Amino acid sequence: MPRLTIDGREIEAKAGQTVMEAAREHGIFIPYFCWHPQLSVPGNCRICVVGVDDKGGEWVDIACNMPVSEGMVVHTNSEKVRARRKATMQFITLNHPVDCGICDKAGECTLQDYHYEYNGERSVSVDAKVHATKHHDLSERIVLDNERCIQCTRCVRFTREVSKSNGLGMISRADHSLVRAAEDGSFGRDPYSDNVIDICPVGALLSRSFLHKARVWYLKPTASVCPGCSRGCTVNLWHRRPEWRLKAPGMRTANESIDRVTPLENPAVNGPWICNKGRDLAALLGRARAEVAMLKGRPAELQGAIARARALVASARRPVAVVSSWASNEELAAFKASLGARFATFVKADCQPEPGEVVEDALLIRADKNPNTAGARALFGDAPLAIPPDADLVLVWGEGLDFGLIPPGAAIIHLNAWLAPENGHADVFFPVSIQTERDGHYTNFAGVTSAFAKCFPKAAGVADAAALFPALAGAGGGE
C-alpha cells in the first residue's frame, strides 16, 4: 500500500489508485469538471492540477490521471497550483456567455461555483448575513424581498412626496430595518403605488402581475399613450421582441400581448409617473375583440359590409355621426375629410369611470376617462349629444352609446373594437383596430398632442377606421 502526503496529511492509498481517487477517499477535495467516478479519464479540463515535490522543485499535473506512488508529496493549493488553476478557469470561460441570471443551472453549476472559488476574488464579507422576509406582500399588487432592499427609502419618500398616501415607512433600525406598509392599509389604496417598482434601484419591489413573466431583454418598449383618461400619459408598452418570439404552439397570444406598462417620462404631461390604471392597460386593451363584420347581426365579408354601408350613406337624407373620443387625430381627420360634410357630427364619451376607480385627483387622474376628447372636439365642436328624431342614418363609432337614443326608424352603422351586444343590433357592423395595431396621436385635455406607435398586426377581418371612411364615402378603396 503506497503511502503519500497530500497537503501535509499522510494517507495510505490503495495500489493502482490515482491521486484524485486517493484524495477523495480521504476527504481531500480536488476540483474537477471532466472527471467522473463512473466514466473514463479523458483529462481534458485540466482543472484538477496538483503540485508534486521533486528534486528539481514542484511540478504540476492533473490528479485524475496521476497514479499514486510511495512517498510522493502532493499539494492541492500551492501558489503554483493556484496560478495554473486560475489560468485554466480563464481558458474554460473564454467564450462563456455569462448568462447565469437566466440559466437554469445557476445555483447548482460547477463552473459558477469554481469561478467564485478559483477565478474571481472571494467575498471580503466575513459576517453572517442578516436574513429578512422574502415574498412579503406589500399590497395586492406589489411583492417585497427585504433581503434585496438596500434601504434607500425611495419608495417611502415617493408615498410622502409624490402620491401623498404616506403608505410606506421604514420600520425598526439599522440592519433590521424593513420597508413596511402602514397598518392603516393606505398603501393598498394608493392609485400610484406601482411607481415604486420603477424607482426601486434593486429587485426588492416587484410587480405581482409581471413576476417571473419574462426577462426584460426579451421584451421591447413601444411608445404609446395611456387611453385611461384625458391626461394622456405617455407610456412604454413592453411586448415580446420579434427576434425572441416564443415558438411553442399556442404562443401567438403571448407574442402579441402587453407584458407590462411603464411610464415614458414626459415633462409636458406626466413627468416620470403614471397611475395604476395605466399599468393595467393589458387588461383594458385585452378585452374580447370583435373580429368579424356583420349585417344585422349576421357575419359578413368586410367588402360586402362596406358596399352596404356605402349605399346607406349615399341614400340617407339626414345622416348623423357619433364619433369616438378613443379615435386618433388621424382617424378623426379621415372622417372629417371623407364624411364630415355629409354627417351632422357629435363627440361622445366612450368610457365612464368604473366603480371603485379614482375619478379625479390633484396629481394626474382626470375625470374624463377618454384619451382624445380634446382632439375630437377640436374637429367636431362640443355640442351636447342630441340625435335629432328625424335622423334616418346614425353612424356610431366606438363603445359607450346607449342605442336607445337612436330614433327607431334610423339605420345604424356601428364601428367597435370590442365584442358587445349592440354590435349585432346595427344594420352594418365593422370591427375596427385598437391603438396597439396602428400609429396615431391623441390630444390631451390641456391641448398637448402625444404619439403612439403600432405594436402588433391586426386580425385579418378587422378594419382601420381611417381607411374605412373614404370607402364609405365612395371615394375609392372600397373594392
Partner 1 sequence: MKHLIPDFEKMKERFPAGFESSLVLPCLHRIQADRGFVADEDIDGLVAYLGVPRVQVEEVLSYYTMLRREGIGRTHLQVCRNIACSMRGAEGVIEHACKRLGVKPGETTADGQFTLSTVECLGSCGTAPVMMVNDAYHENMTLAELDRLIEELRQP
Binding site for partner 1 (CB under 8 A): 160, 166-173, 180-184, 186
User: Cβ of residue 172: shortest distance to partner 1, in angstroms?
Assistant: 5
Q: How far is the CB of 139 from partner 1 (least distance, A)?
A: 14
Contact 453, 222 (CB under 8 A): yes
Residue (169 or 272) nearer to partner 1, CB: 169
Give the amino acid at 331: E
- Minimum Å gap between C-beta 196 and partner 1 is 14
Task: Give the residue among 63, 92, 66, 89 at the shortest CA–CA distance from 76.
Answer: 63
Diameter of the chain measured on Cα atoms: 114
Nearer to partner 1, 55 or 173 (CB): 173
Kindly state the smallest distance separating residue 274's Cβ from partner 1, in Å: 23
Closer by beta carbon to partner 1, 18 or else 163: 163
**40/172 with CB nearer partner 1:** 172
Give least dist CB 356 to partner 1, A. 23
Whichever of 23 and 168 has its CB closer to partner 1, that residue is 168
Are 301 and 341 contacting, i.e. CB atoms less than 8 angstroms apart?
Answer: no
> In degrees, to the nearest 5, what angle opens at C-alpha 56 toward C-alphas 50 and 58?
15
Please report how close the Cβ of residue 152 comes to partner 1 at its closest, in angstroms.
Answer: 16
Q: Cα–chain-centroid distance for residue 71?
A: 64
Cα separation, 13 vs 26, whole angstroms: 9
What are residue 303's phi and psi, to 5 degrees? -65, -40
Q: Which is nearer to partner 1, 186 or 444 (CB)?
A: 186
Give the shortest CB-138-to-partner 1 separation in angstroms.
12
Q: Which is nearer to partner 1, 173 or 212 (CB)?
A: 173
Residue whose cell numbers read 344585422: 296
Q: CB 170 → partner 1: shortest distance, Å?
A: 6
Q: Toward partner 1, which CB reaches closer, 128 or 174?
A: 174
- Alpha-carbon distance values, 37 to 20, 34, 64, 78, 209 (Å): 10, 10, 10, 25, 46
The grid coordinates listed for 428 are 352594418
3-class state of residue 4 by DSSP:
strand
Cell triple for 315 = 341614400
Q: Which of 281, 129, 73, 300 is nearest to 81 (CA)?
A: 73
Structure-block grid coordinates of residue 229: 383618461
Residue 207 DSSP one-character state: E
